[in-house]
Amino acid sequence: MPLELLRFEMLLPAFGLVVARVAGLVMAVPMLTSRQIPRIVKAWLVVTLGLLVFPVVAPELPRSLTLGQAAVGMVGEFIVGEVLGLGAGLVFLAAQVAGKVVSHQSGMALGQAYNPVMEAPSTVLDQVWFLGVLMFFLALRGHLAVVEVLLDSFKQVPPMMMVFDGALEEFVIGILRGAFDMALRMSGPVILALLLTSLIMGFLTKTMPQLNILSVGFSFKIATALFVLGMVVTFSDDLVADGMADGLDQVGLLFEHVSKTVIHGG
């Protein structure tokens, strides 16, 4: 019994590093950052995932660590998990940006309501796009790809070996650029349809001055936005797959750079 307790005490610092990296990933997932989810549930989710990951990555973990060294290293491991979560969440960020753009162009931004999941005001289009992307993400096994990248990260960037240099800034810029590009591709057809709708409303105003263009145009633009949005979301599987691959590829490139930096000593 004393030997088992001693072995547990020796593994505890290494397990803390694993839990910290998993916690960073979990806290970067949009659905799990909401205050509607109790903290105890989040804590148990992190610990459970850590217990599942720990036996797989045990060969990559440092053998002799004190609790003080592990506590300092957990800060860096949490940032590594946040980086991984940021890459995995590229498609969700793009969906939110696309929903905001289309909502403002169609006039639906006037009907914002507080979204407890995101803890921010959102419109119907925001939620439709976000849930549509989430559906494709799960259908394309994106969650399994994220777990695979998490396990590989322990081989590329062993615990307490993360190097913070210019590559991290380039990664963040690349993620934001990729999210904005994907948001434009998602909202582009709807924006074009709304532009044509505005042109049609302009012609109707000149040809039929007695028509109440404000009431008719407002409803017509919303109907057009919802119709085109339904078509875009239906055929967005390839776009979501490309966004997932882009985000996780950027994470892999960052970890590869860090791995080379560690091997060659900077």
Q: How many CA atoms lie within 13 A of 90 on its CB side?
A: 31
Q: How many residues does the chain have?
A: 266
**Domain segments of the chain as ranges:** 2-263
pLDDT in tens, 97-144: 888 888 878 777 666 666 666 666 777 777 778 888 888 888 888 888
Could you tell me where the beta strands, DSSP code E, fall in the chain? 113-115, 120-122
Q: What is the pLDDT of residue 123?
A: 76
Distances in whole angstroms, Cα of residue 238 to Cα of each of 139, 233, 245:
12, 11, 11
Q: Helices (DSSP H) in 67-121: which residue ranges?
A: 67-88, 90-106
Cα–Cα distance, 119 to 116 (Å, whole number): 5
Categorise residue 62: left if φ over 0, alpha if ψ from -120 to 50, beta otherwise.
beta
Contact of 22 with 53, CB cutoff 8 Å: yes
Contact of 175 with 247, CB cutoff 8 Å: yes
Q: What is the pLDDT of residue 6?
A: 38
What token pair was written down for 109? 């931004």
Cα–Cα distance, 228 to 234 (Å, whole number): 10
Residues ≥6 apart with Cβ < 8 Å to 190: 102, 105, 106, 225, 228, 229, 232
Which of these, 90, 135, 131, 25, lies nearest to 246 by C-alpha position?
90
Low-confidence ranges of the chain (pLDDT < 50): 1-6, 266
Cα–Cα distance, 140 to 153 (Å, whole number): 21
CA dihedral 220, 223, 227, 233 (to 10 degrees): 120
